[in-house]
């Protein structure tokens, strides 16, 4: 018998997918335009899925409470911009660094991909260092202390970006971040190339996270999320493992920030407000199912799908009362949905797997493939 | 030999515990000394900013006391606290003027407290009339009921299921963002204010200039803090609340009614949030996004005082308020949240249980 609650997830995902495809198709009535739109949509979902994966490492597996995703997002995005842009040429645009020219020596035609890779690596490293520093005073304390400390660091970094104009050009932000590999394809097709790039990064990270979680290291993280005392009693250094989980998540967030910056071509402080750059990722993870990487990706798709649908609906002839408010209504729905999920279906769309072990998975597959011979049967 | 080494390790452990006790006392004394130095320096060097800081701190204290009470009884940090405060200020605006956003302009529901005869007549030098006082009282009642209702809808089911503390915090975050979106839906993103026009400040001794409103704000904040103190330390309900916050199991065994405690905690917290929000918005414009920015100073104050300790939250809020305002003399005003954050990190490093917190 099919249980009703198993159907909720596919139905919800299908409905969102349907409207995401149908609304732009109906509005534009143009195949190519719709495909380009959908490629853009998929790119955004892919970038946000990187963040939800990272948050899943921190919250879903390690149980570390990071309410300041925006901080790591910001550090990643700005770091990659600083590393790939050429030095400032105008006195009105001020920022530190600008290593782009330095990173583009005429070596194996590396001008396209070397700065891009270095930018991603630097973004991950900087974000990881920030997480390391932040974990020192807070990780030994109760979970909510880290939460409020991360909110604080996100707010502080945003303020520093706005107030200290010399670091990354203040409120005007940085524009003209070189887009990776853009020299290889026609500008019109670049959307698709970038989508492929995002998907490659996402899949690599997804495999890495899955592999990590299904290792003994990942099981320690899960164990200390469930019961720190028992994990400590088994001889594991709780603080070190928690810090590792937090830092690994932060590194992935930094990479996500870098990919976001490349996708946009610009970064400004207005991107990193708490609703957009922190809460949305939390909503995605909780709705998708924390503790499950597929859930994290599905949550990114679902919530961003709702976002996009609201954006599309705004293009229709709505009554003015609704039109000025549609984005606020959408935000309200996402907030309410988070609370409802916590109340009614805390496991999210994709519940956490109970068994995370590569070895056991392999063994189970073997058993299934060759069922043990039933004893007592006479041999021919 | 084995006996000797056991004795030695015992001795060592004892010495270490003693050292920790000494260190603990030192950090407590050091913190108080630091606060004393900060306050005396601020009072002497930046008297005007110091007084403003005390006023801001007094208002923050109302929010922080509510936060710390909720934390003490329910054991979770309420991340919706700042946004509920903003809901309070918007509700007061609504009761005063009866206005909500229609399509692009405001529309009035036809009745408001300002329509009452003589409600806008200024009381002395204050910028508002008795209608505003009515609005404060009405909002406090509504928000107390709202908080109790929200607990019934969201937090009680979670309690029944014995959810982890972090799930409560997460739910409160969801509530926070829903509330902000709700404010945007009903009143729009534009800034609003209770009273239009510019009012002159009065001169006071020591070169201090204050608006009468600011004196009123501080007086109300102080009076409410005293009231909460009396309630917590002089009534049976307060005693039960403190007992429950100290040790929930022991309180249950002593026959304290948990449900009643929780309802009162939310009611008191809600009323304090409403009044804090209104007093805060009396000086500045109302904006929906202010709520989340309030979280940092509120939590810094509550943690500085020791989570769960109302008297600590009061002192903590004064420290945060004064530091934030006095910092304006040296840093850009945009760094005010940074000052609260610095206090938070400092306290987490030096003495995570705060000024009044117990060791356990």
Q: List, in sequence order, every residue forming a beta bridge with B204; answer none if it has no partner.
A: B208
Closest Cα partner for B181 from A317, A370, A334? A334
Reply yes or no on whether the pLDDT at A199 is more than 70: yes
Q: List, in sequence order, every residue forming a beta bridge with A95; answer none if it has no partner.
A: A168
* Interface predicted TM-score of the whole assembly (ipTM), two decimals: 0.83
Residues B45-56 pLDDT 10s: 788 888 888 888
> Over chain A, what is the mean pLDDT?
83
Which residue of chain A comes nearest to B102, CA vs CA? A321
Q: Is B252 on the interface with A (CB under 8 A)?
A: no
Reply yes or no on whether the pLDDT at B275 is more than 50: yes
Exposed (0-12), middle (13-18) or buried (19+): which is A153, by Cβ within 10 Å?
buried
CB B58 within 8 A of CB B219: no
Confidence of residue A1 (pLDDT cuts 50, 70, 90): very low
Task: Report d(CA B24, CA B30) in Å as an integer.
Answer: 10
Give the SS3 label for residue A174: strand
The mean pLDDT of A32-50, rounded to a whole number, is 89
Give the SS3 label for residue B108: strand
Helices of type H across A29-142: 31-55, 69-84, 114-138
Lowest mean pLDDT among A87-91, A219-223, B1-5, B263-267: B1-5
List residues in chain A touching B: CB distance below 8 A.
63, 65, 67, 137-138, 141, 143-145, 147-149, 151-153, 155-156, 159-160, 162-163, 273-275, 279, 282-283, 286, 320-321, 324-325, 328-329, 331-332, 334-336, 338-339, 342-343, 346
Substitution target from A170, A335, A340, A341 for chain B, most B beta carbons within 10 A? A335
The widest CA-to-CA distance across chain A, in whole angstroms, is 91
CB B297 within 8 A of CB B320: yes
How distant is the Cα of A261 from the closest Cα of chain B, in angstroms? Answer: 25
Question: Do the chains contact at B171 and A339, CB–CB below 8 Å?
Answer: yes
Residues A17-31 pLDDT 10s: 888 888 877 777 778
| DSSP result, A206-265 | HHHHHHHHTSHHHHHHHHHHH-HHHHHHTT--HHHHHHHHHHHHHHHHHHHHHHHHHHHS
A147 chain-B contacts, CB cut-off 8 A: 77, 79, 169
Give the SS3 label for residue A370: coil
Confidence of residue B360 (pLDDT cuts 50, 70, 90): very low
Task: Report d(CA A260, CA A268) in Å as an integer.
Answer: 12
What tokens does B295 get? Answer: 């979280």
Task: Report d(CA A263, CA A195) in Å as an integer.
Answer: 9
Position A378 scores a pLDDT of 54
How distant is the Cα of B300 from the closest Cα of chain A, in angstroms? Answer: 9
Residues B106-146 pLDDT 10s: 777 767 777 777 666 776 677 777 778 888 889 999 999 99
Position B42 scores a pLDDT of 80
Reply yes or no on whether the pLDDT at B325 is more than 70: yes
Query: What Rg value do the Cα atoms of chain A yield, rounded?
Result: 23
Residues B287-318 pLDDT 10s: 888 888 888 899 999 988 888 888 888 999 99
Position B197 scores a pLDDT of 64
Reply yes or no on whether the pLDDT at A254 is more than 70: yes
Task: Report d(CA B305, CA B314) in Å as an integer.
Answer: 7
A338 chain-B contacts, CB cut-off 8 A: 170-171, 173-174, 177
Position A4 scores a pLDDT of 66
| DSSP result, A272-338 | G-HIIIIIHHHHHHHHH-TT-HHHHHHHHHHHHHHHHHHHHHTTS---HHHHTTHHHHHHHHHHHHH
Q: Is B259 on the interface with A (CB under 8 A)?
A: no
Question: Do the chains contact at B177 and A153, CB–CB below 8 Å?
Answer: no
Question: Do the chains contact at A163 and B184, CB–CB below 8 Å?
Answer: no
Residues B140-150 pLDDT 10s: 999 999 999 99
Position B2 scores a pLDDT of 57
Residues 112-171 of B with CB under 8 A from A: 154, 157-158, 163, 165-167, 169-171
Lowest mean pLDDT among A47-51, A258-262, A342-346: A342-346
Which residue of chain A comes nearest to B333, CA vs CA? A163
Q: Residue B73 — left, alpha, or beta (φ > 0 → left; ψ -120 to 50 → alpha)?
A: alpha
Task: Report d(CA A27, CA A181) in Å as an integer.
Answer: 32
Residue of B171, B185, B334 with shortest CB distance to A342: B171
Lowest mean pLDDT among A152-166, A298-312, B268-282: A152-166
Position A107 scores a pLDDT of 57
CB A70 within 8 A of CB A117: no
Q: How far is CA A176 from CA A81, A187, A263, A360, in A?
A: 9, 15, 11, 49
Question: Do the chains contact at A67 and B173, CB–CB below 8 Å?
Answer: yes
Residue of B173, B292, B334 with shortest CB distance to A163: B334
How distant is the Cα of A321 from the closest Cα of chain B, in angstroms? Answer: 5
Q: Is the dihedral of CA A317, A318, A319, A321 positive or negative?
A: negative
- pTM higher than 0.90 for the full model? no
Reply yes or no on whether the pLDDT at A295 is more than 70: yes
B177 chain-A contacts, CB cut-off 8 A: 275, 279, 331, 334-335, 338
Which residue of chain B comes nearest to A341, CA vs CA? B171
Lowest mean pLDDT among A35-49, A81-95, B23-37: A81-95
Position A216 scores a pLDDT of 86
Residue appearing with tokens 């943690």:
B303
Residues A197-212 as b/e (b if ≥16 CB within 10 A, e otherwise) read bbeebbeebbeebbeb
How distant is the Cα of A178 from the closest Cα of chain B, in angstroms? Answer: 31
Q: How far is CA B77 from CA A186, B31, B71, B249, in A?
A: 52, 23, 6, 20
CB atoms within 10 A of CB B174: 26
The mean pLDDT of B182-210, rounded to a whole number, is 77
Question: Do the chains contact at A346 and B76, CB–CB below 8 Å?
Answer: no
Give the SS3 label for residue B204: strand
CB B143 within 8 A of CB B88: yes
Position B87 scores a pLDDT of 92
Substitution target from A332, A334, A340, A347 for chain B, most B beta carbons within 10 A? A332
What tokens does A88 get? Answer: 């400032």
How distant is the Cα of B186 from the closest Cα of chain A, in angstroms? Answer: 9
A149 chain-B contacts, CB cut-off 8 A: 341, 344-345, 348
Residues A320-332 pLDDT 10s: 777 778 888 888 9
The one-character DSSP state at B154 is I
Which residue of chain B comes nearest to A163, CA vs CA? B334
Query: Which residues lie closer than 8 Å to B49 by C-beta, 6 or more apart?
Result: B42, B325, B326, B328, B329
Reply yes or no on whether the pLDDT at A83 is more than 90: no
Reply yes or no on whether the pLDDT at A206 is more than 90: yes
Position A108 scores a pLDDT of 55
CA within 13 Å, CB half, A114: 13
Question: Do the chains contact at A155 and B169, CB–CB below 8 Å?
Answer: no
The mean pLDDT of A50-69, rounded to a whole number, is 90
Residues B63-108 pLDDT 10s: 999 898 888 888 888 889 989 999 999 988 888 887 777 777 777 7
Closest Cα partner for B189 from A269, A309, A325? A325
Q: Is B48 on the interface with A (CB under 8 A)?
A: no
Residues A129-183 pLDDT 10s: 999 998 888 887 777 788 888 888 888 888 888 888 777 777 777 877 777 777 6
Confidence of residue A3 (pLDDT cuts 50, 70, 90): low
Reply yes or no on whether the pLDDT at B3 is more than 60: no
Position B13 scores a pLDDT of 78
Query: Which residues lie closer than 8 Å to A347 by C-beta, 6 or more apart?
Result: A289
Q: What percent of chain A has pLDDT over 70?
A: 88
CA B224, B229, B234, B237: dihedral to nearest 10 degrees?
80
The mean pLDDT of B203-210, rounded to a whole number, is 74
Give the SS3 label for residue A157: helix
């Amino acid at each position: 018998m099919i249980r009703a609650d198993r159907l909720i997830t596919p139905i919800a995902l299908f409905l969102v997918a349907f409207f995401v495809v149908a609304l732009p198709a109906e509005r534009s009535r143009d195949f190519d335009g719709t495909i380009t739109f959908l490629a853009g949509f998929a790119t955004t979902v892919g970038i946000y899925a990187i963040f939800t994966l990272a948050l899943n490492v921190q919250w879903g597996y390690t149980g570390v409470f990071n309410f300041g995703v925006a901080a790591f997002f910001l550090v990643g995005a700005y770091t990659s911009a600083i590393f790939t842009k050429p030095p400032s040429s105008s006195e009105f645009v001020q920022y530190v660094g600008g290593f782009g020219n330095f990173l583009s020596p005429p070596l194996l035609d590396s001008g396209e991909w070397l700065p891009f890779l270095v930018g991603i690596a630097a973004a991950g490293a900087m974000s990881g260092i920030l997480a390391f520093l932040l974990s020192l005073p807070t990780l030994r304390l109760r979970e909510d202390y880290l939460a409020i400390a991360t909110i604080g660091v996100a707010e502080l970094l945003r303020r520093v970006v706005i107030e200290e104009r010399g670091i990354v050009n203040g409120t005007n932000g940085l524009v003209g971040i070189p887009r990776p590999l853009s020299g290889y394809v026609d500008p019109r097709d670049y959307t698709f190339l970038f989508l492929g790039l995002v998907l490659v990064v996402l899949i690599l990270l997804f495999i890495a996270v899955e592999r990590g979680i299904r290792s003994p290291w990942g099981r320690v993280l899960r164990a200390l999320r469930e019961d720190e005392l028992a994990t400590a009693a088994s001889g594991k250094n709780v603080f070190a493992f928690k810090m590792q989980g937090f830092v690994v998540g932060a590194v992935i967030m930094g990479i996500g920030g870098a990919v976001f910056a490349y996708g946009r071509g610009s970064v400004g402080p207005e991107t990193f407000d708490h609703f957009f750059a922190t809460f949305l990722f939390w909503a995605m993870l909780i709705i998708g199912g924390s503790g499950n990487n597929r859930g994290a990706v599905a949550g990114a798709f679902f919530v961003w799908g709702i976002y996009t649908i609201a954006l599309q609906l705004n293009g229709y002839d709505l009554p003015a009362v609704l039109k000025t408010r549609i984005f606020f209504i959408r935000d309200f729905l996402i907030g309410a949905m988070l609370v409802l999920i916590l109340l009614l279906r805390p496991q999210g769309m994709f519940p956490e797997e109970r068994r995370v072990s590569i070895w056991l998975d392999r063994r189970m597959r073997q058993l299934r493939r060759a069922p043990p011979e039933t004893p007592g049967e006479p041999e021919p | 030999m084995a006996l000797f080494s056991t004795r030695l390790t015992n001795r060592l452990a004892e010495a270490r515990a003693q050292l920790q006790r000494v260190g603990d006392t030192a950090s407590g004394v050091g913190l108080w000394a630091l606060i004393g130095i900060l306050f005396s320096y601020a009072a002497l060097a930046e008297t005007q900013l110091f007084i403003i800081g005390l006023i801001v701190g007094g208002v923050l204290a109302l929010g922080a006391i509510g936060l710390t009470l909720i934390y003490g009884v329910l054991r979770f940090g309420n991340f919706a606290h700042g946004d509920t405060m903003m809901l309070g200020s918007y509700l007061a605006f609504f009761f005063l003027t009866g206005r909500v956003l229609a399509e692009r302009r405001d529309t009035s529901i036809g009745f408001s407290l300002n329509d009452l005869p003589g409600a806008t007549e200024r009381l002395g030098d204050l910028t508002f009339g008795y209608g505003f006082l009515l609005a404060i009282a009405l909002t406090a009642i509504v928000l107390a009921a709202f908080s109790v209702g929200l607990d019934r809808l969201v937090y009680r089911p979670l309690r029944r299921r014995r959810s982890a503390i972090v799930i409560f915090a997460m739910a409160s975050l969801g509530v926070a963002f829903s509330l902000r979106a709700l404010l945007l839906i009903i009143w729009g993103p534009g800034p609003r204010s209770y009273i239009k026009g510019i009012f002159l400040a009065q001169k006071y001794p020591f070169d201090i200039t204050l608006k009468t409103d600011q004196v009123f704000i501080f007086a109300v904040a102080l009076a409410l803090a005293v009231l909460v103190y009396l309630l917590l330390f002089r009534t049976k309900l307060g005693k039960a609340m403190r007992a429950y916050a100290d040790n929930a199991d022991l309180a249950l065994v002593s026959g304290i009614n948990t449900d009643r405690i929780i309802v009162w905690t939310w009611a008191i917290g809600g009323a304090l949030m409403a009044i804090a929000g209104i007093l805060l918005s009396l000086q500045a414009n109302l904006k929906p996004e202010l709520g989340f920015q309030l979280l940092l100073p509120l939590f810094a104050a509550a943690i500085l005082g020791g989570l769960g300790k109302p008297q600590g939250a009061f002192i903590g809020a004064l420290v945060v308020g004064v530091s934030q305002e006095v910092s304006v003399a040296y840093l850009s005003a945009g760094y005010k949240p940074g000052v609260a954050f610095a206090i938070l990190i400092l306290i987490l490093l030096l003495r995570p249980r705060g000024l009044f917190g117990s060791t356990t």
